[in-house]
Amino acid sequence: MENKIVVHLKDGVIHKGVTSDFHPGNESFHLLPGEGGGVPMRIALDSMKALFYVKDYIGNRDFVARRQFDEAMREAQKAIVHFDDGEEIWGILGEGAEEDGVGFFFFPADREDNNIRIFVIRSAMKELKRIA
């Protein structure tokens, strides 16, 4: 299955496209550019800040994600990710968060967010703050 993604690299470069071979345990994956097709590019996980699985590529530049958690998230492991570049995202910890791997899945707290889920690269984080 192909997933619509936006890849943010540590150097600030952003790539949009689809992938069908991303796996957190692999060192790299392939990205087929989403706008106009093209040649697949190999993306190394250690060069990434995060991989965003998105609803669409356009998003909404004016959207500001809520910085609070719904009552329905009461039982989930809530957290705030602070990236080295100053970006902050609020959400729910997912698969891999309790392990020592290269990264982990994270789900946005705001259901209206264009991001469906995010694979956060640990080496691009300044801090992971868990919320009780």
Structure confidence by residue, pLDDT tens digits, 5-22: 999 999 999 999 999 899
Residue 73 above 70 pLDDT?
no
Q: What is the pTM of this model?
A: 0.88
Average pLDDT over residues 52-80: 74
Residue 33 above 70 pLDDT?
yes
Residue found under tokens 């890849």: 7
Which tokens in the block code for residue 57? 């590529």
Average pLDDT over residues 76-100: 91
Q: What is the CA radius of gyration of the chain?
A: 14
Residue 72 above 60 pLDDT?
no
Percent of the chain residues past pLDDT 90, beyond the cut: 61
- Amino acid in position 130: R
**pLDDT number for residue 28:** 97
Residue 75 above 80 pLDDT?
no
Sheet holding 48-54, edge to edge: 41-44, 28-33, 14-19, 3-9, 48-54, 115-121, 103-108, 88-93, 78-83, 125-131
**pLDDT number for residue 70:** 63
**pLDDT number for residue 113:** 87
